[in-house]
Amino acid sequence: MSAGGPMDDKFKFQRKERELRRRSRAASVEDAWARIEKDEDLSVKEKLEKLIHLSAPKKDKPRPQTPLEPLPREPLVFTDNPYPLPTRYGRTRLADGLSIKGDVLGYLSKNGAFADLDLSTALFIDLETTGLAGGTGTVAFLVGMGYYRRDRFHVAQYFLGEMGEERRLIEELDRFFKEMDFRSVVTYNGKAFDLPLLETRFILHRQPFVLSDLPHLDLLFSARSLWKHKHDSCRLFHLAQQIVEAERSEDIPSAEIPFRYFDYLRSGDFSLIEPILYHNQEDILSLLGLLISAAKLFETDRDEASGEFDAMDMFGVGKVFESAGDLEKSMAFFERALAGDLPEELTTVIKRKLSFHFKRNADWEKAVSLWKDMSSLDDQLFCFRELAMYFEHKAKRLDDALKAAEEGLALALNGPQAYRQDFEHRLERLAAKLQKQGTGRRPGGK
């Protein structure tokens, strides 16, 4: 089965059956935790013990005739799933990640330290935790990691089966990070959540956190630039389906994951954890697939007439270059996007950006052409103001400046007051200049 394939039918059937039995129980556990978590005097361990006590089956309730026995559980479990490089995840090949150049990683991360790096020494990391708020009370009970080694892409996971073994987990992770000698980190929203949380746990156990010193590519930010204008959601799960075309299904809501873990601690039922392990592994593969898909948009030696990449993609790449401060490349991609099929609102945004770029570079012919072309769109007030300024101060064509200001004022009468005042002052100044030249031209006159 390929890495991107769905779970087998047996696993799906068992999971759906368990969901029906577990739904009401999960709701009660969630309500209990919401009350317990408010008690700031309790430690995380004490809160969990209280939750286990409250959510345990009551003795006066009838028990099933054949109760489920808790499965034997290990306090700390390490698993490693190596995938051959030709393996396909959705429309991407895992091997393609090794072809991504350092300069592309630098643009996607806005970190020049990636210039001399590639993904062969990168660590992909994603956590599943006991809460979504972060802070010292939140514990990472599952640490998913992806990395390239010896013609394989590995997805490894550390699962914390007993809360009391967290120190051992931290020590194992510290040893693992150092032995693998990673040179960079790749996450999805890891700058705001995963790495700060993991660093907090390391500090609490007095362990150095070596990942904090590595270049970090948090793909969430570039993903928003690349695809926010094109897709309704930039969640990793959604983009993996839409961009990578991965066959992800039956995803677990993030808010449900902590309660599944709490229920597991109480019952020892590992079937509660199996879907979380699957979800975490899919997130690692989705992150790699999405990074490969993003990097392909930056290729400049492709046949532009092939139609493989559309104008919306070109606009997204232009935004990434713009965010990284490379305006020349940004504007080149914006111009390519403008030659394609775009919604009118994006066309207006691009033309405004390009016109400012041409204005900064004194390329007045291109700037004026855009302003005149934009005057038929929603940005008319902006265009007439720019045209009036150009004709007055650069071209020294006062009659044309006056005409542009008059058309702008006519539109501004029912528009923003700032534009109306600007055009009124501009017309007064232009009238004074024309009168001084002896032309006698007045605003609104012949």
Q: 122-129 and 88-89 as β-strands: parallel, antiparallel, unpaired?
A: unpaired
| Residue 178 to residues 167, 172, 203, 211, 263, Cα–Cα distance (Å) | 17, 10, 16, 9, 33
pLDDT tens-digit map of 235-268: 999 999 999 999 887 678 888 999 999 999 999 8
Distance between CA 338 and CA 319 in Å, rounded?
13
pLDDT at position 61 = 39
CA geometry: angle 65, 68, 69, nearest 5 deg: 120
In this structure, the answer to whether residues 204 and 143 fall within a common structural domain is yes
Residue 64 belongs to a domain? no
pLDDT at residue 393 in the model: 92
- 93 membership: H or E segment, kind and range: strand 92-93
Q: Are 136 and 240 part of one and the same domain?
A: yes
Would 4 be classed as within a structural domain?
no
Domain finish residue from 233, 261, 295: 295
Q: Are residues 116 and 249 in the same domain?
A: yes
The verdict on 111 and 165 lying in the same domain is yes
Note whether 45 and 135 are same-domain residues.
yes
C-alpha of 331 from chain center:
23
Q: What is the pLDDT of residue 254?
A: 81
Residue 281 sits in the same domain as residue 405: no
* Any domain includes 353: yes
79 DSSP β-pair partners = 157
- Tell me: do 291 and 357 sit in the same domain: no
CATH number at residue 285: 3.30.420.10
So what's the pLDDT on residue 414?
80
Q: Which two tokens stand for residue 409?
A: 């004022």
Q: Which domain holds residue 122?
A: 9-58+70-295
Ramachandran assignment for 43, one of left (phi > 0), alpha (psi -120 to 50 degrees), beta (any other): beta
Q: Which tens digit of pLDDT belongs to each residue from 362-376? A: 999 999 998 988 766
pLDDT at 1: 35
Q: Who's near 303: CB < 8 A, 6+ residues apart?
A: none
Instruction: Find the CATH number of the domain harbouring 408.
Output: 1.25.40.10
How deeply is 162 buried, as exposed, middle or buried, from its count of CB atoms within 10 A (0-12, 13-18, 19+)?
middle
- At which of 274, 295, 316 does a domain end? 295
The per-residue pLDDT for 372 is 87
- Count of domains in the chain? 2
Please list the ranges in the chain whose pLDDT falls under 50.
1-18, 20-21, 24, 57-71, 301-307, 446
